Chains A and B, each alone.
Chain A
Amino acid sequence: MNGLPIDVDLAWESLPALFDGLKVTAILTALPLLLGLALAFPICFARMSDRRWLAFLAEAFVTFFRGAPLLILLYLVYYGLGQIEALREGPFWVLFGSPFGCAIVALSLNHAAYMVEVLRGSLLAVPHGIVEASEALGISRRNVFIWVKMPLAIRYGLKAYQNEVVSFIKGTAIVSVVTITDLTAVANSIFEQTYDPFTPILCAAAFYWAFVNVVRIVFDLWGRWLNRHNAEDAAAAAVVPGRGRSLRSASDLKQVTP
């Protein structure tokens, strides 16, 4: 019986290599998620600032890095920055001289740009009356942000964040173009060695699928824990119109707030 497009032996033999690839993909997901989020906070504050020039700079950052295709951004960082001699001689070459460093930089910038908007939309979705109530209690601005705005914003933005993380994970596959052997690159190299067009790619797809679903389960548990205050409404709150990168604006988020 050879109706299956999959060569089971090859799949089995490829497992260790695919796992190594998955590890690289996981690292290339985790680091930019952390760095991008850390970068998104100050840029989001700038974006929401009353100072026009600051808000403008932040908006320019978002427009540029959200608009720039990730592949081209990666090329620019990897090939483009290497043309600058001062950079090649400078201390940052440790980072920009390596494909891994370049991938981290490009992915982080891309993720940060998206997260600025996710964060901003979530913060804008916090009902104004609740913020006023905190202020009327004499709670300082900083504490209102930490104890009231942020906890609510996380709840409102969780689904949008999950969408961003999931599409981001799959987006990391492009790092193979700058010689990094992530999951996709491993599958490609097995294809090139065996000329089996299906087995390695389908196995890699299964790995991505499993990875994304582990992330989904973590998000679901997190969301359920956060929304324990209205357990019956949690399902309703979880319904987000559209999927993937379509949910970006504050108005989209407002529709899903409970």
Chain B
Amino acid sequence: MIAQPAATAETGGPAIAIAGLVKHYGSHRALNGLDLDIRRGEKIVICGPSGSGKSTLIRCINALERHDGGSIVVNGIRLTADEGTVQDIRQEVGMVFQHFNLFPHLTALENCMLAPRLNRGLAKARAEKLAMHYLERVHLADHARKYPARLSGGQQQRVAIARALCMEPRILLFDEPTSALDPEMVKEVLGVMEELAAGGVTMICVTHEMGFARRVADRCVFMDHGEIVESAEASTFFQAPESGRLRDFLAQILR
């Protein structure tokens, strides 16, 4: 057997290892014994029809949903029901939501400062410096003192990205980050995400932005009925889909 690439040995295993993952909502089986390993620094795009379990999958990774069976190991930490373990994993994993979910009573800057101040006990000045650094990275330094209600959807989503980055996570989860945006704002958010992808962070992105998937993804994953139907490098994924279900799906969204 040929030795694994050096990266794996050096960093001690994958960023995320998911095996036999099962999640029920009542009698509905949202995740049906799903396996997925994600290397460090890998960019993964997950797509699939609505109700296929893609959001559920990434929400299980940071325990926003508790899984019912199988195992999730994040950066070597095995996810259990234990509150401390959950907190440890959440420090490693940042998340960006479809509906931004900014704190409406705090300015963009304060949104970014809250978690570093509370979790890491950073002093106000240091937290502010950190927050400004990441707001600059998403090109919003000029809007730092504004409240979310004063920002456009695209700007709000970029604040949400900066807020996640302020915890300096090694893994970023995106749950349909552009689905709630007006078309003209999609580009600015995808632009920021592409810049992030150029860095070393591990990214898992649920999205139907196929252009983004082509440019950024190391691997595309197609889910249906709580299972991974097909998983391939972006070019193969789009040009030579193996399964009929993926072909149908691509035909639908690329129409």
Q: Which residues of chain A have a CB within 8 Å of any CB of chain B?
A: 127, 129-130, 132-140, 143, 147-148, 151-152, 155, 226, 228-230, 232-233, 258
Contact = CB atoms under 8 A, between A and B. Distances in A.
Contacts of A155: 105
A61 to B, nearest CB: 29
Contact of A133 (B101, B119, B147): B101
Contact of A139 (B93, B118, B149): B118
B104 A229 contact: yes
Contacts, number: 75
B118 A143 contact: yes
A143 B117 CA distance: 11
B103 A136 contact: no
Interface in B82-105: 87, 90-91, 93-95, 97, 99, 101-105
B164 A152 contact: no
A119 B205 CA distance: 37
Nearest to A151: B105
Contacts of B60: none
Given A134-B114, A138-B90, A140-B118, 9 more contacts: A129-B101, A132-B101, A134-B115, A136-B90, A137-B90, A139-B119, A140-B87, A152-B103, A233-B149
A137 B93 CA distance: 8
Contacts of B91: 138
B118 A136 contact: no
User: Shortest 5 CB-CB distances between A and B: which pairs?
Assistant: A138-B90, A133-B101, A229-B147, A137-B115, A230-B149
A52 B161 CA distance: 39
Interface of B: 62, 64, 87, 90-91, 93-95, 97, 99, 101-107, 114-115, 118-119, 147-149, 160, 163-164, 167
A148 B118 CA distance: 12
A250 B91 CA distance: 33
Contacts of B105: 151-152, 155, 226, 229
A127 B64 CA distance: 15
B104 A129 contact: no
A241 B237 CA distance: 54
B119 A130 contact: no
Contacts of A148: 103, 114
A137 B149 contact: no
Contacts of A152: 103-105
7 contacts: A129-B101, A136-B93, A137-B119, A139-B114, A148-B103, A228-B147, A230-B147
Nearest to B149: A230
Contacts of B95: 133, 136
Nearest to B107: A229
Contacts of A136: 62, 64, 90, 93-95, 164
A253 to B, nearest CB: 16
B41 to A, nearest CB: 21
A136 to B, nearest CB: 4
Contacts of B119: 137-140
Contacts of B64: 132, 135-136
